[in-house]
Structure 1
Amino acid sequence: MHVTTVRLKWKSPHRAWWVAAVTALAIVVAGAFSTAPGILQNPLRQEFTWSRGSIGLASSLNMVLYGLTAPYAAALMDRFGIRRVVLAALGAVAVGAVLTTTVHAAWQFTLYWGFLVGLGTGSLSMTLGTTVTQRWFVHRRGLVTGVLSAGSVLGQMVFLPALSWTVDHHGWRPALVSLALAALAVTPLVALTLHDHPAGLGRRPYGSKVFVPRPAPVPGAARRTVAVLRAAARTGPFWLLAGAFAICGASTNGIMWTHFAPAAHDHGMPVTTASSLLAAIGVFNVVGTVLSGWLTDRVDARRLLAVCFVLRGLLLAGLPLIMTATVGPPMMAFVVLFGLLDLATVPPVVALCRAFYGEDAALVFGWAGAAHQVGAALASFLGGAARDALGSYGPVWLVLGAACAAAAVLSLVVPPAGPATAPAAPKAPASVATACRG
């Protein structure tokens, strides 16, 4: 009797997926840093008697630098490579977190956390994800963008409960040391896996039918970054997207990750419980962002963006009505829905930047991200100042709900992407390739 042996050949995933996985891991670690101000606020006030405004100032500087660093980081990746920039950024956040444990004055907190950590996390923002997606993927770009966008929130979800527990039981300094160690733990994987371009390994981008040569390093990173901004700023879509994205930052990072826990504490909710709710938002954020990336590949990105803003605005406006000392069904519904919408705006904005600005999409998205962080910084600072002045966060939620309605209008006003050409940036050697004359 003859027995035939069937051998199953296992086909390894395309290298692009490994690069995306390590990129996501770096973004996850950076995301963990964004929630720290919310859980540090009360311990810092108790130990140093600093005002909420002083702590909010450091958080605001961190958010502004996070945004302003992103486009320059994208240009530096074109000049020196993705791997080198990411390794430097991980080192910066680790050093900044450790130095923050030595502070004795508010200006030191602003310098170490606001400046140094802001520079590092800005280099690990979604501009990194956009650059990796642009170089390594042709197919599934929307999906990969959604997954990488979810990475920052996944970091919040994974680290926030543990950090809150550490702060409650061991103090805030061990929590920051833990963040620094997490950043350092990622560096070997980045050094071994995060290759700059598929051509460097003799590979094609995922989904590409042709070999794409590795582009030459682009000199003059700072000059090119500013040139791309000047060229994009002559087009209407850039201002519409930047304005909508600024409101996006104010209504997510700026208020939720800095002031939700203190606002819940005002209503008698323990900070650990509020932190757990933020972590739960992160769980659904991953689902919502990936779903948004999938939808971005299939529907009009402008309409998807508008729907996200409308629903988010309704949730924020209704938050004062459901904020209590205990977690009931209304609050759980808020957590689920807000989580699904929180970062769902990123994939459609990236897609619109790619449609309008071609090869400069990562840099243009970086500048839109800077607007996002400016909005977040204003909400972080003004939210704390409003709480100090009014004794309540209630009016803040209502104002941000109305702002989201305005962002929905801006999204719908963005014209359909067309082949018209925007004013070109000086060759360095890149330019704004395709844009409309909004």
Structure 2
Amino acid sequence: MKSGSGPSKIYYGWVVVLIVFVTLLIAAGIRSVPSLFMLPFQEEFGWSRSDISTVVATNILLYGLIGPFAAAWMEKLGVRRTMAISLLLLAASLSLTPFMTSLWQFELVWGIVAGIGTGTLANVLGVTVANRWFVKRKGLVVGMLTASAATGQLLFLPLLAKITEELGWRYSAYAAVAALLILLPVVVIWMRNHPYEVGAAPYGEEQLVKPSPFRGNLFLEPLISLRLASRSLTFWLLAGTFFFCGFTTNGLIGTHLIPACGDFDISMVTGAGLLALMGVFDLVGTTLSGWLSDRFDNRWLLFWYYALRGLSLIYLPQALGLGPTHLLVFAVFYGLDWIATVPPTVKLTTDAFGKERAGMIFGWVVVAHQIGASTAAYSAGVLRDWLGSYTLPFMLAGATCFVAALMAVRIQAASRQKVAAAG
């Protein structure tokens, strides 16, 4: 059976990629909502930035922790069903958010429920789809699906910021619910779990192979994968670099850039526009990173990505004080590198542990990413309350990037380790 890549027929895997791209895009837009709500929540409820940052940190942590288990759910329940359940969970969470009156309710509805929902619709979903549907151009597909997270900011943040300023934050939540309800039937009707369902082989292969049924325990199998992976230094280096990746992206900039702009009397819409501009350039940078990961040593790609990100973060406090032109330079420079680290990290994980376990093991690498992001989201809020400025958190984050760059070049090149076979 042909892979379906001939000129007479569009390979259905590209339809699947489009659906997943849009799903990840909307989930990313929703995940960035707390950065818009931080200032309105301060004014309406009197919560401090450290209080709100605690909820955001819980959401970010669960977003990561759910990943390995989500990979197992996709194997057992199917990708389509898992996506549909997650979209319903997110819609329920956002529908309840406008009615909350206490911090514990925000923690429950957004920190826990939305954390689980967005964690299922995350990078592990993209990796699972890429590994199932593509042999050739897999790095490019991973790059495209990873870039959708930044594109979500591009499309949603400025719009939601405008709605929040003119109508209030509750209407922003309702708009996000509407987007989820429009997407849900698209997933249910057109999403497919595996190329075998449409009578095709993975892109780049000729042989049609029926997928093996998932026989492991939904909750134990991810833990078994972690035990096997933890024997390898490569896993700890990948997890360590990804900890610093999370510490310097969604945990810090994704959560605190808009409030930091507010400290310099820069409007919420302008701050959201900066994040959107980063999304534009990250769409280019991360897709290009996926293309590069198919062709160059991924360890050195990570070295340069982290080192350049560190320079941009050290520059950010000066850019905030110097005005729009300098912030524009930061947004472009930082945006190209926002999550360009994902495709090389996925490639190194798959090469080391095999595509059969890549989803779950990469899920554990993402856990480290989100622990770093959660740490940054909370600590930056606390330091801002203590010091009255974000300068120290930004400078410290820049310094950690140089540590990550040095760790990346120590990752073992190449030949697949026999960890997966041990299972």
Aligned counterpart, 2:283: 286
Call closer, same or farther: CA 1:230–1:43 in 2, change over 3 Å.
Answer: same
Cα offsets for 1:366-399 (capped at 9, x unmatched): 1111110110011000000000001110011110
Instruction: Report the residue type matching 2:298 in the other structure.
Output: A
Give the distance between the partners of 2:290 and 2:84, measured in 1 at CA. Answer: 27
The residue that corresponds to 2:345 in the other structure is 349
Q: Is the 8 A contact 2:351 2:416 kept in 1?
A: no
Gaps in structure 1 of 5+ consecutive residues? 1-8, 426-430, 432-438
8 Å Cα contact 1:309/1:404 also seen in 2: yes
For 2:187, the equivalent position in structure 1 comes to 190
1:40 has 2:37 as partner: yes
Measure the CA separation in 1 of the matches of 2:7 and 2:311: 49
**Residue 52 to residue 136, structure 1, CA distance change in 2 (3 Å):** same
1:144-190 Cα deviation digits (max 9, x unpaired): 00000011111111000010001001100110111111111111111
CA distance in 2, matches of 1:191, 1:103: 30
Shift in Å, 1:324? 3.2
Of residues 388, 391, 395, the one that matches 1:391 is 388
1:335 aligns with 2:331: yes
Among 90, 93, 98, which residue is 2:95 paired with? Answer: 98
Q: Alpha-carbon deviation of 1:71?
A: 0.9
| Deviation (angstroms), 1:423 | 7.2
In the other structure, the counterpart of 2:165 is 168
**In 2, Cα distance between equivalents of 1:133 and 1:286:** 18
Kindly indicate whether residue 66 of structure 2 is the aligned counterpart of residue 69 of structure 1.
yes
Deviation at 1:13, TM superposition (A): 1.4
Report the CA distance shift for 1:295/1:94 in structure 2 as closer, same or farther (over 3 A): same
Residues 82-115 of structure 1: per-residue CA shift (max 9 Å, x gap): 0010000001111111111111001100110010
Q: Which TM-score applies when normalising by structure 2?
A: 0.97
Q: Does 1:309 align with 2:306?
A: yes
Identity over aligned residues, as a percent? Answer: 39
How many residues were matched structurally? Answer: 417
Alignment of structure 1 residues 124-143 onto 2, 5 Å: 124-143=121-140
Match for residue 87 of structure 1 among 84, 98, 105 = 84
Whether the aligned pair in 2 keeps the contact of 1:269 and 1:324 (CA below 8 Å) is no
More deviation, 317-326/289-298: 317-326
Distance 1:362 1:279 in 2: 29
Separation in structure 2 between the aligned mates of residue 151 and residue 76 of structure 1, nearest angstrom: 22
Corresponding residue number in structure 1 for 2:378? 381
- Measured after TM superposition, the shift of residue 417 of structure 1 is 2.1
Q: Is the 8 A contact 1:316 1:398 kept in 2?
A: yes
- The superposition leaves residues 53-107 of structure 1 with CA deviations (integer Å, 9 ceiling, x where unpaired) of 1100110010000000111000011011000100000011111111111110011
Quick check: 2:315–2:330 contact (8 Å CA) kept in 1? Answer: no
> What residue in structure 2 maps to residue 250 of structure 1?
247
Determine whether 1:230 maps to 2:227.
yes
C-alpha contact (below 8 Å) 1:158/1:279 kept by paired residues: yes
Letter in 1 for 2:268: V
> Do the aligned residues in 2 keep the contact of 1:292 with 1:344 (CA within 8 Å)?
yes
Structure 1 length normalisation: TM-score? 0.93
Structure 2: segments with no counterpart, 5+ residues: 1-5
Where does structure 1 differ by over 6 angstroms across 4 or more consecutive aligned residues?
A: none
State the alpha-carbon separation in 2 of the partners of residues 81 and 420 from structure 1: 28
- Per-residue deviation at 1:10? 7.1
AA of the residue aligned to 2:198: L
Structure 1 423/204 Cα, relative in aligned 2: closer, same or farther at 3 Å? closer
Does residue 366 (structure 1) correspond to residue 369 (structure 2)? The answer is no
Query: Over aligned residue pairs, what C-alpha RMSD do you find?
Result: 1.3
1:272-317 deviation line (CA, Å, top 9, x unaligned)? 1111111110010100000000000000001001100000000001
Q: 1:325 to 1:43 in 2, by over 3 A?
A: farther
